[in-house]
Amino acid sequence: METPIDEELIAQLALNRVSGVGSLAYSNLLQYFGTASDVFCANRQQLLRVPDITQDVVEHLVKGIDATNVEQDILWLKEDPGHRAISLSQADYPALLAQIHRPPPVLFLKGNASLLNTVQLSIVGSRNPTPGGIENARAFARNLATTGLTITSGLATGIDGAAHQGALDAKASANGMIQKGRTIAVAATGLDRIYPSRHRDLAYDIADKGLLVSEFPVGMGPLRENFPRRNRLISGLSVGTLVIEAAVKSGSLITARFAMEQGREVFAIPGSIHSPQSRGCHWLIRQGAKLVETAEDIAEEILPILPTFQGGSENLQQIEAASDLSMAEQTLLDAIGFEPVNLDTLISRTGKMIDELSVTLSQLELQGLIDTLPGGMYNRSVKSHR
């Protein structure tokens, strides 16, 4: 649905661009004057009565709306029917986001805006993940998207990109119909820009099949201070946040902390005690995040609140389904454990001969339950972590 360009929207976009007007000042101004248009009609004395409004902001506002300042936003909105801007005062502003402290006053959208009010789970993690982390992100996103959850993330390299792709690869069942999995990418720039540039094709795919969201006006570049605001928006849109691999000092932990402050669920996947990428997840678990090993650990908590969810038990069973293993296969899988091992170690742990182990290893690999690593090492795949 195309955004109607009226006087009030122009005033809202102009107010959103005034330097020094953050979400608190914006909210206070609208609460005091009623509309953004009335804000720009106020005099100095009236404006100075509004809490948290500085003299510099007052001087900007009394000059009225600078049409050239919002021209970029207007041109972008007219460029494509899929481009929209919605404000906090509108009925289709996401209800969950409106509940957080100082929600963004304006959101810019590109794609399917109806996804904003679907039940979302955010998946975030390291920009430099391990191969296992990438596999986890894709698998968890794909499996959870099949239940009807919308997967939300930040379009960053690493875990974020893998989560978006996993959701796009999913097929969900709703009202007896099969539909593609859904994903929302929250940007730290204006939506006329794509950051990082290597995710250009992914961003186009998300805009076509999902939704791009930003609280930043058109033309805004990737400034360092904008990424925490992006993270706060990711958690604010979601009923819960899953962290897959994160260092102790990372943007992913910032997102998780925002989720905790907003009263949302936080989930974390544990990893090796030797991996720096696992320490952030372990810290979150110590702070009360739910330790998860499989997608159904999350689904069991989230699915009951899906208001339009159909066939929940069937989809949950689909997530939980695993191959029936022979005793030899299960014994070998148990012997592999959860760290990469070589053939000599497996011989020692199982007491089996090389020929017998090789056959069983091949069977497990064909079922997708193990991966062969460089150097003759073997490791469980995500599918086997059940």
| SS3 call for 59 | helix
Q: Tell me: do 311 and 365 sit in the same domain.
A: no
The C-alpha atoms of residue 161 and residue 247 are separated, in whole angstroms, by 18
Q: Tell me: do 5 and 154 sit in the same domain.
A: no
pLDDT at 313: 44
Q: Tell me: do 169 and 190 sit in the same domain.
A: yes
pLDDT at 5: 80
Boundary-marking domain end, from 269, 291, 320:
320
pLDDT at 329: 82
Computed on alpha carbons and rounded to an integer, the radius of gyration of the chain in Å comes to 24
For residue 96, tell me if it sits in a domain.
Answer: no
For residue 91, tell me if it sits in a domain.
Answer: no
Q: Tell me: do 135 and 24 sit in the same domain.
A: no
The DSSP bridge pattern shows strands 120-125 and 106-111 to be unpaired
Share of the chain above pLDDT 90, in %: 64
**Cβ contact 98:41 at 8 Å:** no
| Segment 238-259 mean pLDDT | 95
Q: Which domain holds residue 118?
A: 113-320
Q: Tell me: do 337 and 305 sit in the same domain.
A: no
Name the phi and psi angles at 107, rounded to 5: -120, 135
**Cβ contact 246:126 at 8 Å:** yes
Count: domains in the chain: 3
For residue 79, tell me if it sits in a domain.
Answer: no
Boundary-marking domain end, from 299, 320, 341:
320
For residue 94, tell me if it sits in a domain.
Answer: no
| Segment 124-149 mean pLDDT | 92
| Most confident listed range (18-22, 172-176, 351-355) | 18-22
For residue 258, tell me if it sits in a domain.
Answer: yes
Which pTM value belongs to this model? 0.79
Q: Tell me: do 133 and 271 sit in the same domain.
A: yes
230-246 tens-digit pLDDT: 999 999 999 999 999 99
Q: Residue 7 corresponds to which tokens in the numbers above? A: 């006087």
315-321-324 Cα angle (round to 5): 160
For residue 85, tell me if it sits in a domain.
Answer: no
Q: Tell me: do 208 and 268 sit in the same domain.
A: yes
275-303 tens-digit pLDDT: 899 999 999 999 999 999 988 899 888 87
Residue 110 has pLDDT above 90, yes or no: yes
326-382 tens-digit pLDDT: 778 888 887 887 778 898 889 988 888 888 888 888 888 877 788 888 888 888 876
> Mean pLDDT in the chain?
88
Boundary-marking domain end, from 320, 341, 370:
320
**DSSP designation for 148:** T
Q: Tell me: do 145 and 212 sit in the same domain.
A: yes
Q: Tell me: do 162 and 27 sit in the same domain.
A: no
pLDDT at 316: 47
Q: Residue 62: which H helix or E strand, with range? A: helix 55-62
Q: Tell me: do 341 and 311 sit in the same domain.
A: no
What CATH number should be reported for the domain holding residue 1? 1.10.150
Q: Tell me: do 352 and 224 sit in the same domain.
A: no
